[in-house]
Structure 1
Amino acid sequence: MKEVEVSKAWFRERSELGVSAVLVGLGALVLVDAVRIHTDFTQRGPVGPKAVPIAVGVGLLVVAALLARDVLRGGRGEAEGGEDVDLDAPADWRTVLMLCGAFLANAALIGVVGFPISGAIMFWGAAYALGSRHFTRDPLIAAGLSVGTYLVFNNLLGVPLPGGPLVGVL
């Protein structure tokens, strides 16, 4: 019985090993998926589609190994002390639900009205959920952010986003 208690105490003192294990799992998953990427198309440039996922997977494994080594050598993460947060206060579920609503509205509307309009609704909804009550400024900023994001992705980066009724205007 005492052996089990010692084992639990050992793991409790080194709980960061759990984070390391999660990083190993994620790194392995990313590497397995990266290796399974098919490259049946003509590659443009020296870097193929496997390069970034393999780099991310290897990076996750390296960070996991360094964290595990640090923890096993006695290293411990510092307790969070810089935040001015009342840990006894209840969660603000109203804000969380309004943010979820803004993101779900974007997901539901993007195919119907296009990214510029659905993105503006999402940006304005997120600002409102987080406490901003400037009813003339916020929609203008949201529209500017949404249109700007659309133009950057669609026109500069070549990532097509649904334009909706504004596709001919933008």
Structure 2
Amino acid sequence: MSTPRTDRAATGRRAWLRDHSELGVCVLLLALGVLVLTDALTMDVDLTQRGPVGPRTVPLVVGGGLLLIAALLAVDVLRGGRGEAEGGEDVDLSEPADWRTVLLLAGVFLGAAVLIGPLGFPVAGALLFWGAAFTLGSRRADRDPLIAAVLSLVTYAVFDKLLGVPLPGGPLMGVL
């Protein structure tokens, strides 16, 4: 059985974490900055580049900026700074989070990531677009799959054919 003293301590910790929840964003920014810097520093690049700016420059600047922003935000939060909700934001903070929708969207995204190799981008992208629309509440079975297929094919054509970014075509590789 817990004592009143440990209950008060646990309640105090929860209250402190609730009041400083923005520190979670700081941790996310810190982790992202470390990831970007690690990637940039371990990048295999040709050291015979011409000019002062190489392929590591932008990732190093972005990673350093992420670390700086994480540190500045953490200092601000610990000094009592708080983010303010947008004035026109239509969010009821008393309602619980809709974890079902979040998990369904994550499942649709992961499913598309797994299927993009064997089925190709056009099919996996169509499933992603349709699955996201269905998860977010659209129930138009006559329209949604068609819109998803068109969006996916147009996206594939723009990236693969016009921009030269190779995407896996899957069974449609020879058709487009």
What is the DSSP-based 3-state SS (H/G/I as helix, E as strand, rest coil) of the residue aligned with 1:134? Answer: coil
Aligned to 1:159: 165
Match of 2:38 among 29, 32, 52: 32
* C-alpha distance in structure 2 between counterparts of 1:110 and 1:76, whole Å: 41
Structure 2, gaps ≥5 residues long: 1-8
Match of 2:76 among 70, 73, 76: 70
* C-alpha distance in structure 1 between counterparts of 2:75 and 2:152, whole Å: 44
Shift of 1:150: 0.8
Shift of 1:55: 2.0
Question: Quick check: 1:149 aligned with 2:155?
Answer: yes
* C-alpha distance in structure 2 between counterparts of 1:138 and 1:98, whole Å: 17
Q: C-alpha deviations, 1:44-79, integer Å up to 9, x for none?
A: 998533123112111112212332443455433225
Shift of 1:39: 0.5
Shift of 1:87: 3.2
Aligned to 2:175: 169
Specify the code of the residue in structure 2 equivalent to 1:84. Answer: V
Aligned to 1:138: 144
* C-alpha distance in structure 2 between counterparts of 1:109 and 1:27, whole Å: 30
- Taking structure 1 as reference, are residues 26 and 74 closer, same or farther at Cα in structure 2, changes over 3 Å only? same
**Greater Cα shift, 32-41 or 19-28:** 19-28
* C-alpha distance in structure 1 between counterparts of 2:27 and 2:102, whole Å: 29
Shift of 1:123: 0.8
Question: Quick check: 1:85 aligned with 2:85?
Answer: no
CA RMSD of aligned residues (A): 3.5
- Taking structure 1 as reference, are residues 44 and 157 closer, same or farther at Cα in structure 2, changes over 3 Å only? farther
Structure 1, gaps ≥5 residues long: none
Percentage of identical aligned residues: 61
How many residues get paired? 164
* C-alpha distance in structure 2 between counterparts of 1:57 and 1:163, whole Å: 33
Specify the code of the residue in structure 2 equivalent to 1:85. Answer: D
- The TM-score, its normalising length taken from structure 1, stands at 0.73
- The TM-score, its normalising length taken from structure 2, stands at 0.70
Specify the code of the residue in structure 2 equivalent to 1:39. Answer: V
- Taking structure 1 as reference, are residues 144 and 26 closer, same or farther at Cα in structure 2, changes over 3 Å only? same
- Taking structure 1 as reference, are residues 166 and 65 closer, same or farther at Cα in structure 2, changes over 3 Å only? same
Shift of 1:157: 2.6
* C-alpha distance in structure 1 between counterparts of 2:59 and 2:90, whole Å: 34
* C-alpha distance in structure 1 between counterparts of 2:28 and 2:95, whole Å: 28
Specify the code of the residue in structure 1 equivalent to 2:172. Answer: L
Shift of 1:22: 4.7
Q: C-alpha deviations, 1:137-166, integer Å up to 9, x for none?
A: 211210111111111221233221111221
